[in-house]
Amino acid sequence: MYLIVGLGNPGDPYEHTRHNAGFDVLTLLAGKLDISIKRFKYRALIGKTQVNGAKVLLCKPQTYMNLSGESVCALMRWYRIKLDHLLIIYDDVDLPAGTIRVRREGSAGTHNGMRSIIDALGTQFFPRIRVGIGPKPERFELADWVLSPYHTAQERQVAFEAYHMAADAALAFVRHGIDSAMSGFNKRAVE
């Protein structure tokens, strides 16, 4: 079984903000798989499906970002998911908007949701997809930047296209493995 987790914060004030890129990618992925993410289990909204015969669980933690690890760790234990079958999708201020990076492992960087997951699992050796939201402008504090919505139609379009790439990369991960997802998507960017 695979566990694909999109990180974000629950609630209307956070919908479609930069920090909720993971939630938005999972919504697109659920649409591609024709499933809903509505069942509540272990403080997360989940949806189950199969891809090429493999069971896949989509997850949107409802713990708020800083406690994402609690939900992810509980689901991994319950479903006995191996670390190499876990995929976390999240926003990254260190990547330009419109880019994604698929990685086999890595640190949390400045991302508190990833820090929570790494702390809960006791390891950073699991796959992830980082979705670039661009660096914060000088006039913003980091928290204000990541919690802000996209301001222009062009920003929304670039984000939407990157989210689609991330959803496709997640499918490539399940269908063909991490190496295929990395080679197929790490050189692409929204133009």
Q: With residue 161 as reference, give the H or E element that holds it.
A: helix 153-176
Q: Are 166 and 129 in contact (CB under 8 A)?
A: yes
Residue 87 and residue 140: Cα distance in Å, rounded?
Answer: 30
Taking the CA atoms of residue 69, residue 71, residue 76 and residue 77 in that order, the dihedral angle to the nearest 10 degrees is: 110
Q: Is 85 an active-site residue?
A: no
Given the residues 19, 85, 111, 164, select the one marked as catalytic. Answer: 19
HSE-up of 178 (CA within 13 Å, CB side)? 18
**Among 91, 125, 4, CA closest to 56:** 4
Catalytic residues: 19
